[in-house]
């Protein structure tokens, strides 16, 4: 039997998973997801070369929550990897708060502490924890390892972490945390392989997808990020608003008026590209649309990214590399082109042909700042963290 690590990323209507062999090194066996939990559930599994290993509809009456989805995933593992022994289950957990700055083996006290952070990430944290509970039931004797999106940013300088609020609030945990850390960590690891000079210098990474953020990284360490106290801050996202004057919230509460629950729902689920366009949260739909509002939503998305590139460059004192990752960053060449247009003042010059092909290096040979397109792999980072932690603890 080969030693394997299963990774899970549980959401409200989907569970993403991957299986890695972890004997001498960590290598992928396959990855996939169950979509449409509670409605039209469907299982999709792909091999490392991108080919489809399995794809089928699931009995929606039986796939009502992450626990049901995990049951289907386990049956698939037995079929596709009968010689694999799951030695650990690694979980993506969005919020680790102040206390969790690295991977941990999850126990009841840890899970309780993470549950108290749910108000900071209501779209993600409760579903992450539900995935952990489901995995505990499926693997009662197997270590569950939590890996945190906030951990990478714990190296932030104080001036980036704090708000200009009464000091006692900072001590209570009201501070900037930053998110998408597992993605940024993977990008740094990949940069060490393909461009070590740039990785050791100043790099701005744009993680652009349904959730979007940017990070200023120097020498592999986060020194600034666009997301803050919650996963709402910074760039506009699929359904989230991004940066917002807090006076707007006071107005909504006192003058409209809206309840806290109504405001939360609007900010997390009805804003961003979806709210601005009135059409969709999906960038592919917006790019294909002739709608004036869809065009304006894209314009705002691009404008905010360009503005934050300037801010991140100031944090770093200049940049050596610009990296695009995430679903939009990796695939939407039109968005990358618009972001980099007329950025020669910063030393950025995009090569049209390379960019159109999603080339790993998409800048021109004479561009002072090298532009990279690097597909992220959060699952691999989770598997590596889980394997390393188990080895250190002699499991």
- Which positions are catalytic? 149
Q: Which two tokens stand for residue 345?
A: 């003042």
State how far the Cα of 332 lies from the Cα of 72, in Å rounded to an integer.
33
Beta strands at 26-35 and 42-46: parallel, antiparallel or unpaired: antiparallel
Beta-bridge partners for 43? 34, 56
CB burial of residue 24 (10 Å; 0-12, 13-18, 19+): exposed
State how far the Cα of 33 lies from the Cα of 106, in Å rounded to an integer.
23
Residue linked to tokens 């679903």: 327
**Rounded to 5°, angle at Cα 180 from 324 and 316:** 60
Cα–Cα distances in angstroms (integers) from residue 308 to residues 206, 234, 302, 319, 324, in the given order: 10, 8, 10, 13, 14
Cα–Cα distances in angstroms (integers) from residue 188 to residues 61, 216, 323, 375, in the given order: 42, 11, 10, 12
State how far the Cα of 313 lies from the Cα of 299, in Å rounded to an integer.
21
- The closest of 324, 213, 218 to 272, measured between CA atoms, is 213
State how far the Cα of 323 lies from the Cα of 348, in Å rounded to an integer.
12
CA 356 to chain centre: 24
């Amino acid at each position: 039997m080969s030693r394997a690590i299963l990774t899970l990323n549980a959401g409200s209507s989907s569970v993403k998973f991957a299986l890695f062999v972890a004997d001498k090194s960590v290598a992928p066996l396959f990855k996939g997801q169950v979509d449409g939990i509670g409605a039209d559930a469907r299982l999709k599994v792909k091999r490392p070369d991108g080919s489809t290993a399995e794809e089928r509809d699931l009995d929606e009456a039986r796939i009502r929550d992450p626990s049901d989805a995990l049951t289907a995933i386990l049956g698939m593992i037995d079929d596709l990897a009968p010689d694999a022994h799951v030695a650990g289950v690694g979980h993506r957990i969005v919020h680790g708060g102040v206390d969790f700055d690295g991977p941990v083996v999850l126990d009841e006290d840890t899970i309780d502490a993470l549950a108290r952070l749910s108000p900071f990430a209501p779209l993600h944290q409760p579903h992450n924890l539900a995935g952990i509970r489901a995995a505990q039931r499926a693997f009662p004797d197997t270590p569950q390892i939590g890996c945190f999106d906030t951990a990478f940013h714990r190296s932030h300088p104080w001036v980036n972490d704090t708000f200009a609020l009464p000091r006692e609030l900072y001590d209570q945990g009201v501070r900037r945390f930053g998110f998408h850390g597992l993605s940024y960590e993977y990008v740094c690891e990949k940069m060490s392989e393909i461009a070590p000079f740039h990785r050791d210098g100043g790099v701005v990474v744009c993680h652009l997808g349904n959730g979007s953020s940017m990070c200023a990284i120097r020498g592999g360490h986060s020194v600034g990020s666009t997301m803050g106290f919650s996963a709402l801050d910074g760039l506009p996202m699929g359904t989230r608003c991004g940066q917002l004057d807090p006076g707007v919230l006071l107005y909504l509460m006192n003058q409209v008026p809206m309840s806290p629950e109504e405001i939360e729902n609007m900010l997390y689920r009805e804003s961003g590209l979806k709210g601005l366009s009135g059409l969709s949260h999906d960038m592919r739909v917006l790019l294909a649309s002739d709608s004036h509002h869809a065009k304006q939503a894209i314009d705002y998305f691009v404008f905010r990214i360009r503005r934050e590139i300037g801010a991140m460059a100031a944090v770093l004192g200049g940049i050596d590399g610009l990296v695009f990752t995430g679903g939009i960053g990796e695939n939407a060449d039109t968005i990358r082109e618009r972001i980099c247009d007329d950025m020669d003042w910063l030393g950025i010059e995009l090569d049209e042909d390379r960019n159109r092909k999603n080339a790993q290096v998409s800048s021109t040979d004479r561009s002072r700042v090298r532009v990279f397109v690097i597909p992220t792999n959060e699952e691999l980072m989770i598997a590596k963290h889980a394997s390393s932690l188990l080895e250190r603890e002699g499991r």
